[in-house]
Amino acid sequence: MILFGLIDNAVLLVCLCLGVEFGPALIPHRYQSKAAGAALGALVGNALSDGLAAIPLGLRPALEVSAGCLAVLVALPLAFRRLARQ
């Protein structure tokens, strides 16, 4: 289980860092911030790492878990607006 935790959090950390780095290219200018990039990276990273973790259950469950995690992305613009006000 230690290996699972290491892989899961390593994927999440890499995606979070990529979100901070490439967030300005992916997020509308008025909502850009390090926090917005980190949030985007963390959401995508969580979807990837959870999907990878579900592969032993089969391809369909892995895709369903990833899709469920990515569904939260629709709420991200609301978070961006709130972050932009602060």
How does pLDDT run across 17-64, given as a tens digit for each residue? 999 999 889 888 888 888 888 889 999 999 999 998 888 889 999 999
Output Rg (C-alpha) for the chain, integer angstroms: 14
86 pLDDT band, cuts 50/70/90, is low
Q: What is the pLDDT, as a whole number, of residue 23?
A: 85
- 50 to 13, 14, 28, 34: CA distances (angstroms): 13, 14, 27, 24
As a whole number of angstroms, the distance between CA 4 and CA 39 comes to 23
